[in-house]
Amino acid sequence: MAATGERIFVQAIRRYCASHGIALDVRSGGWLLAMSGHGERHFAFGYDIGLNSAIAHRLANDKSAAAEVLTLEGVPCIPHRLFLNPSMGAHVAGPDWQQAMLMLLAQNPQGVVVKPNEGTSGRAVFKVTNRNELDRAVTEVFSSSLGLVIAPYVEIEDEVRVILLDDKPMTVYRKERPQVVGDGLRTLRELASEAGHDRQLRELTAQEVNAVVPNGEHRILNWRHNLDAGARPVLMEDGEVRAICAQLAVEAAAAIGITFASIDVVRVDDAWRVLEVNSGVMMEALAKLHPELVQATYDAALDRVFGGS
């Protein structure tokens, strides 16, 4: 958020409306925006600017459904298995959901990731390697969500976000996780503290954080690539990798039928796959580094909303 407490998304829409003679009515603390101009009224809600169909929006925001659709269309992706909250009744959740979860854990000895079926920013996302961790993660997610998904834990070598508008990549950037470089003298805790990354050590063991990092050796501090978890957006230059990521994102968008979206693709074992599709396009972290690019992206989307090219 900006110093005013207003989201970058709202600020960008304010600027667009001011420069295009469009009246803007901000409601619900900035989560509902009514834009009126040129004889039209359009709404933005949350981070959704209103370009996507209802079914595309719902598919994109449902991790399990999105993965199923991508698989049906032959788009490589990370599978996400859906489990519904047992509080809704056995006829909804099914009688064997716990056994099915344990089976998934047994099939993935490297671990699994448990997270809400809907939601962004990496909140309530857990890496699980044993039954006790699974029970804690499931209890935590089900305490606030009607559904969760379980995905195999994979070693993600790179994660790239592609923001698409009408199959055109508007912005492509890597999510660079916080890391330190060892000097052979200081512990991981000391190096992270000096770099301002103390928060990133919470999920590491005492043995890991108190060990001296060998000289020149890199240590990544967080297994998550989420920007809210400390990752930094780094724009990608034109080249083969950028083109591969953009093309995969275009294929994913076409499969779901979505017009304006941010799509996360990951490199696992040197192969690129889709991780998630997001109907709401959030660029709060990117705006701190590249405000002009973020404004231009929202401007182009709003041009489409108001019938421009």
Check pLDDT > 60 for residue 225. no
pTM listed for this prediction? 0.83
Domains identified in the chain, total number: 3
Q: What is the 3-state secondary structure (H, E, C) of the chain?
A: CCCCCCCHHHHHHHHHHHHCCCEEEEEHHHCEEEEEECCEEEEEECCECCCCCHHHHHHHHCHHHHHHHHHHCCCCECCCEEEECHHHCHHHHCCCHHHHHHHHHHHCCCCEEEEECCCCCCCCCEEECCHHHHHHHHHHHHCCCCEEEEEECCCCCEEEEEEEECCEEEEEEEEECCEEECCCCCEHHHHHHHCCCHHHHCCCCHHHHCCECCCCCEEECCCCCCHHHCCEEEECCCCHHHHHHHHHHHHHHHHHCCCEEEEEEEEECCEEEEEEEECCCCCHHHHHHCHHHHHHHHHHHHHHHCCCC
pLDDT in tens, 107-162: 999 999 999 998 765 678 899 999 999 999 999 999 989 999 999 999 888 899 99
Check pLDDT > 70 for residue 163. yes
- Per-residue pLDDT band for 309 (boundaries 50, 70, 90) equals very low
Q: Does 62 reside within a domain?
A: no
Q: What is the pLDDT of residue 19?
A: 95
Q: Does 277 reside within a domain?
A: no
For 3, how many CA atoms within 13 A lie in the half-sphere containing its CB? Answer: 0
| Burial of residue 83, with CB atoms counted within 10 A of its CB: 0-12 exposed, 13-18 middle, 19 or more buried | buried
Q: Which of 201, 216, 231 is the last residue of a domain?
A: 216
Q: Does 130 reside within a domain?
A: yes
Q: Does 38 reside within a domain?
A: yes
Examine the domain organization and report whether 100 and 148 are in the same domain: yes
Q: What is the pLDDT of residue 2?
A: 43
Residue 141 sits in a domain whose CATH number is 3.30.1490.20
Cα–Cα dist 77/99, whole Å: 25
Q: What is the pLDDT of residue 221?
A: 66
Cα–Cα dist 183/215, whole Å: 4
Q: Does 255 reside within a domain?
A: no
Q: Does 47 reside within a domain?
A: yes
Interval 40-49 mean pLDDT? 94
Q: How high does pLDDT run on average in the chain?
A: 88
- Per-residue pLDDT band for 227 (boundaries 50, 70, 90) equals low
Interval 192-214 mean pLDDT? 73
Interval 61-74 mean pLDDT? 96
pLDDT in tens, 8-18: 999 999 999 99
Q: Which of 170, 199, 216 is the last residue of a domain?
A: 216
Residue 233 pairs in a beta bridge with 175
Range of the domain at 14: 8-51+290-305
Q: Which of 153, 173, 208 is the last residue of a domain?
A: 153
Q: Does 102 reside within a domain?
A: yes
Query: 300 versus 86: which is more confidently predicted?
Result: 300
